[in-house]
Amino acid sequence: DPHLNFLRETMGIMQHHDAVTGTEKQKVALDYAKRMSVALRACSTNIRSVLNQLSIASDRNSQEPSKFEFKTCTLLNISSCATSELNKRFALTLYNPLAHSVNEYVRVPVKDYNYVVIDPTGKVLPVQAVPVPKAVSNMKHRNSSAQYELVFLASSLPPVGYKTYYIEKSETIPAIGKPSPSPKKT
Amino acid sequence: SSYTVIGNNNIQLTFDTNGFLAEVTADGMTRMISQEFLYYEAATGNNAEFLNRSSGAYIFRPDNNQIRFATDEVTIEVYKGQLVQEVHQKFNDWISQVVRVYKQSNHAEFEWLVGPIPIKDNIGKEVISRFKSDIKSDGIFFTDSNGREMLKRKRNHRETWNVKIHESVAGNYYPVTTKIALEDTTARMAILTDRAQGGSSLEDGVLELMVHRRLLHDDAFGVGEALNETEYGEGLIARGKHHLFVGQSLQRPDVSLKAIERLVQLETLLPSWKFFSNVSYSSDQWL
């Protein structure tokens, strides 16, 4: 509760007309951003414990509780995420907040272009690696090693539910090889 | 053909030899639709009288409606694969965009990246993304009200009083929380935003949305500083998405474009939450 209350109080501050419209001073805007990031980070422990309980509950015959970290990457909007860039294998859990099942194309920042994605039923999904746009990868203060975004289709994410995907760097080079731009039109 | 085409069975986008979007084929029809980035030069009033205030945090006011093109030629790179086709566009040193169509989508995604906005010329700039079409919208367009009801807007007009428009651009700008649209008897064009933006339709068939601004003068409404956001001492860089829907405007019993827009709006504004976990197991053990 202390975490959730902190986020509730922070969201209370965000109802101020300056926070809603962006008419606050620069330093106040930075303070709002900092409060939000601290509050969301505090609540990631809540999410982690809930998802761990759910994953234990769903996997009845598991002896030891599977302690996944369920880390959030807040820089996905600039194609940056340490876990997916620095690890050869990782799990990605997608929680669908809507009341209906959705299909969503997911983009994961990765260092290379040959990865395998396995869905919860063990099916290997079609994937595609697309280079991170040059303007993004050239951004000075984006310290990320991701050169590609790994795209796959997460289908039928259950309403108010989640699915976990296993992503692993594969030793084999995909048949289509390294993603390259179509030939320039003259 | 020297044109570049990306898309799927639902929607195809054609880019001309200058790298600009030129045409969209969707819902059984092809319409001339172009997209470009421009920027208004910001007015710098002397803030003495009420009327000539500067463009600032509270005010949007272009200087004599001065608008500049970001470029007249776009360099593009095209990536096509089994799940998504993308056109990476570079408009200039501080404006670029990725236009993509996923394999099963019925709309196109425009992921723009704007900034740092240059101010060496001491002129504030307000950047817009403008979609031009041949749809005869007759001065009428629609903007949403907090993501729900669509409000009808008419250029240079107000529903409840005889308005005298002094600012022909700013006087026609409205708040867009999630969607702006226009249509005629045959076609409809709608753009979903991923955040609240100012938007308008200043010509028939044209929609524009303000994606980023950097101003150098306070507009004397109280904040006491110019809207000149910086990051590491440089102008802020903004990145976001617009989703473009094009289709027939007539209401059909089976599916309406508006219903599809509504569903995608929900799914793009409330996407899945992503959690990453290191894994030491092999895939079999993991399963």
User: Tens of pLDDT along B141-154?
Assistant: 999 999 999 999 99
Q: Report the alpha-carbon distance of residue B8 to residue B23 in Å, rounded.
A: 14
What is the average pLDDT across B99-106?
96
Q: Which of B220, B80, B200 is nearest to B141 (CA)?
A: B200
Looking at the complex, does the CB of residue A103 fall below 8 Å from at least one CB of chain B?
yes
Is B73 at the interface with chain A, CB within 8 A?
no
Res B26: pLDDT: 95
pLDDT at A66 over 80: no
Looking at the predicted structure, is the pLDDT value of residue B23 above 90? Answer: yes
pLDDT of residue A63: 47
The whole-chain average pLDDT of chain B stands at 93
With contact defined as beta carbons under 8 Å apart, do A164 and A109 qualify? no
- Model confidence at A165, pLDDT cuts 50, 70, 90, reads very high
Smallest CA–CA separation between B181 and chain A, in Å?
23
Select the more confidently predicted residue: B257 or A86. Answer: A86
pLDDT at B31 over 60: yes
B279: contact with A, CB 8 A cutoff: yes
CB of B28 closer than 8 Å to CB of B15:
no
Directed axis angle between helix A2-13 and helix A26-58, to 10°? 150
CB B182 within 8 A of CB B142: yes
Q: A154 vs B272: CB contact, 8 Å cut-off?
A: yes
Query: Residue B50 pLDDT > 60, yes or no?
Result: no
Would you state the structure tokens that stand for residue B8, as one six-digit string? 């799927």
- Point out the least confidently predicted range of A6-15, A23-32, A67-76: A67-76
Residue A53 is predicted with a pLDDT of: 87
Contact with chain A for residue B230, Cβ under 8 A: yes
Q: State the average pLDDT over residues A7-24.
A: 95
* pLDDT for residue A68: 79
Q: Average pLDDT in the B168-197 region?
A: 96
The number of C-alpha atoms within 13 Å of A135 and in the hemisphere containing its C-beta is 23
CB B212 within 8 A of CB B115: yes
Residue B245, burial from CB neighbour count under 10 angstroms (0-12, 13-18, 19+): buried
What is the spatial distance between Cα A16 and Cα A36, in angstroms, rounded to a whole number?
14
User: Is residue A175's pLDDT more than 90?
Assistant: no
For residue B49, give both structure tokens.
Answer: 């009288």
CB contact under 8 A, A73 and B274: yes
pLDDT for residue A69: 82
Q: With contacts defined as CB-CB under 8 Å, which chain B residues touch A122?
A: 283, 287
**What b/e sequence results for B81-118 when a residue is b if at least 16 CB atoms lie within 10 Å of its CB, and e otherwise?**
bebbbbbbbbbeebbbbbbbbbbebbbbbbbbbbbbbe
Res A183: pLDDT: 85
Inform me whether the pLDDT recorded for A172 exceeds 90.
no
Take residue B175 and report the two structure tokens written for it: 């708040």
Sign of CA dihedral A36, A42, A47, A50: negative
User: Is residue B214 pLDDT above 70, yes or no?
Assistant: yes
Cβ of residue B224 closer than 8 Å to a chain A Cβ: yes
Q: pLDDT at position B256, please? A: 81
Residues of B in contact with A24 (CB under 8 A): 223
Share of chain A above pLDDT 90, in %: 73
Q: Which of A51-55, A94-98, B25-29, B164-168 has the lowest mean pLDDT?
A: A51-55
* pLDDT of res. A23: 92
pLDDT exceeds 80 at position B47: no
| A168 to B98: CB separation less than 8 angstroms, yes or no | no
Please write the tens of the pLDDT for every residue from B215-264: 999 988 889 899 999 988 899 999 999 999 999 987 666 678 888 899 99
Q: Which of A17, A124, A151 to mutate to test the interface with B (most CBs of B within 10 A)?
A: A151
- In this complex, the residue of B3, B225, B277 whose CB is nearest that of residue A93 is B277
Task: Give B 114-173 residues with CB within 8 A of chain A.
Answer: none
Residue B83 CB contacts under 8 Å (≥ 6 apart), including other chains: A105, A126, A127, A128, A151, A152, A153, B102, B103
| C-alpha distance from B55 to closest chain A C-alpha (Å) | 13
Write the secondary structure of chain B as one string of H (helix), E (strand) and C (coil).
CCCEEEECCCEEEEECCCCCEEEEEECCEEEEEEEEEEEEEECCCCCCCCCCCCCCCCCCCEEEEEEEECCCCCEEEEEECCCEEEEEEEEECCEEEEEEEECCCCCEEEEEEECCCCCCCCCCEEEEEEEEECCCCCCEEEEECCCCCEEEEECCCCCCCCCCCCCCCHHHCEEECCEEEEECCCEEEEEEECCCEEEECCCCCEEEEEEEEECCCCCCCCCCCCCCCEECCEECCEEEEEEEEEEECCCCCCCCHHHHHHHHHHHHHCCCEEEEEECCCCHHHHC
pLDDT at B49 (0 to 100): 55
